[in-house]
Amino acid sequence: MKRAYQRDILKEKSLECHRLAGALRMKEHALANSINAVFFADAKGMVFEVNPAFLKLWGYDDRHEVLGCGVERFFLLKGGFAQWRGRVGEKGGDREMTAVKKNGTVFPVKAAISLFEPAGRRGLGVMGACVALTEKSRSEEFKRQSLKLLALGHLSAGLAHELRNPLAVISSCAQFSIENLTIERPLAENLQVIYRNSQKASRLIEELLSFAKPSNLDWKRLSLNAILGHVVKMARLEASQGSIQTCLKADPNLPRIVGDREKLEQVFLNITLNAFQAVSTHGRVTLTTRHVKKAEMVEVNIIDNGPGIPEEYREQVFDPFFTTKDNGTGLGLSISHAIIKQHGGQIRITGGRRNGTDMSILLPIASRNGDGPDGDWEAG
């Protein structure tokens, strides 16, 4: 009786082992053949397993080149692994990340990140299943965007030319009158309104014209820190909101980039003004620069502690004329997107909704020859 019972138990256990081995083989097979690039890392962020799709996507030949390396070697993680894992939180979720190939090229991926308990290792590890936001989907998106901009450019070019001169006349007449006449207060105020609005209309015209001639860039070797110092000053003047705290944390060893000074100033001013407008009167706007060595890029982050951009708007904000503001034109970010693309860079929103907005702009650094650090920066 006892023997028969033991035999049954043994049989059941061996069946269970068989089932477990089968399930394990199935999972291994699924992982080996998955089109998703999968990695597993321990609690310290050391990668201990990847699948073939991961090696292929990141450009490695052998998994041993990858195993034992930190997750930060494969992704740009702001603040390092621990901070990033904190942001991922217990629930994990889908996110867009910037990945770095073996040869240093950066590329965007969509990653489903989750925390798990790795067998035989301490603490919660991280697992990620990634798909490249392929150049195809990116370039289709870019093409779609470019076509919109092209149509807009053609449409606006003629109109803009006609409006530019009369507007300049209105603006300078208003300015001259403000400076030279002693007139009564309501009239002076009206003149200020005319002046401010004609300036605004001129800016809109300039922006519309920049869609018409997107490829006319004046390439120079530039110091991004200097550009940002200047932008912060201009933004303070334009926003004229005294109690917003602005801070520029510039990396003193930032390498130079090659680009069009005016266009880049326009990009950073657009984004900084958006940040100023988002925080209203008592907020904080921080601009940071850093050298992303492994990607041969520099990164600018413009961070505010305003209400953030809701998930559902995140793609639309780069479309021309998308605005949630009463007085907005909705052109700032679409122009910035086009200019950064022309510079071979990337622009994306990285901040979570409740923590305000963090706009990240990546730009390639200038070639090594004669490329000194960004020494001539003056604080803004």
Q: Does 332 bind ligand ATP (CB under 6 A)?
A: yes
User: Residues 114, 146, 329, 342: which binds ligand ATP (CB under 6 A)?
Assistant: 329
- Smallest distance from the beta carbon of 317 to ligand ATP, in angstroms? 4
95: enclosing H helix or E strand: strand 93-100
Q: Does 272 bind Mg ion (CB under 5 A)?
A: no
Phi first, then psi: give them for residue 319, nearest 5 degrees.
-80, 140
Do 379 and 248 form a contact (C-beta atoms < 8 A)? Answer: yes
User: Residues 13, 19, 325, 353: which binds ligand ATP (CB under 6 A)?
Assistant: 325
> How many Cβ atoms are within 10 Å of 147's Cβ, its own excluded?
10
Instruction: Please say which residue, 43 or 204, places its beta carbon nearer to Mg ion.
Output: 204
Task: Count residues binding ligand ATP (CB under 6 A).
Answer: 20
The window from 133-141, 317-325, 338-346, 371-379 that contacts ligand ATP (CB under 6 A) reads: 317-325
Instruction: Please say which residue, 329 or 350, places its beta carbon nearer to ligand ATP.
Output: 329
C-alpha to C-alpha distance for 204 and 335, rounded to whole angstroms: 11
- Sign (positive/negative) of CA torsion 341, 226, 368, 61? negative
User: Residues 37, 297, 317, 339: which binds ligand ATP (CB under 6 A)?
Assistant: 317
User: Residues 51, 98, 266, 270: which binds ligand ATP (CB under 6 A)?
Assistant: 270
Q: Does 239 bind ligand ATP (CB under 6 A)?
A: no
- Smallest distance from the beta carbon of 301 to ligand ATP, in angstroms? 12
User: Residues 208, 309, 363, 366: which binds ligand ATP (CB under 6 A)?
Assistant: 309
Question: Site residues for Mg ion, window 307-336 (CB under 5 A)?
Answer: 332
Q: Does 306 bind Mg ion (CB under 5 A)?
A: no
- CB crowding 237-262: b at 16 or more within 10 Å, else e: eebeeeebebebebbeebbbbbbbbe
Instruction: Please say which residue, 358 or 374, places its beta carbon nearer to ligand ATP.
Output: 358
Do 360 and 235 form a contact (C-beta atoms < 8 A)? Answer: no
C-alpha to C-alpha distance for 132 and 340, rounded to whole angstroms: 20
Judged by beta carbon distances under 5 to 8 A according to partner kind, the member of Mg ion, ligand ATP, none in contact with residue 324 is ligand ATP
The three-state secondary structure class of 92 is: coil
Q: Does 274 bind Mg ion (CB under 5 A)?
A: yes
Q: Which two tokens stand for residue 99?
A: 């990945």
Q: Does 333 bind ligand ATP (CB under 6 A)?
A: yes
Question: Site residues for ligand ATP, window 275-304 (CB under 6 A)?
Answer: 275, 278, 304
Judged by beta carbon distances under 5 to 8 A according to partner kind, the member of ligand ATP, Mg ion, none in contact with residue 322 is ligand ATP
C-alpha to C-alpha distance for 250 and 289, rounded to whole angstroms: 5
Judged by beta carbon distances under 5 to 8 A according to partner kind, the member of Mg ion, ligand ATP, none in contact with residue 295 is none
Q: Binding mask 105-144 vs ligand ATP (x if CB under 6 A, - otherwise)?
A: ----------------------------------------
User: Packing angle between helix 332-342 and helix 135-180, nearest 10 degrees?
Assistant: 120
Q: Does 345 bind Mg ion (CB under 5 A)?
A: no
C-alpha to C-alpha distance for 47 and 255, rounded to whole angstroms: 30
User: Side-chain half-sphere of 288: how many Cα atoms within 13 Å?
Assistant: 14
Beta-ladder partners of 125: 116
C-alpha to C-alpha distance for 191 and 180, rounded to whole angstroms: 12
Instruction: Please say which residue, 75 or 268, places its beta carbon nearer to Mg ion.
Output: 268
Q: Does 357 bind ligand ATP (CB under 6 A)?
A: yes
284-292 and 245-249 strand pairing: parallel
The three-state secondary structure class of 37 is: strand
Which positions lie near Mg ion, rule CB under 5 A?
A: 274, 332
Which positions lie near ligand ATP, rule CB under 6 A?
A: 270, 274-275, 278, 304, 306, 309, 317, 322-325, 328-334, 357
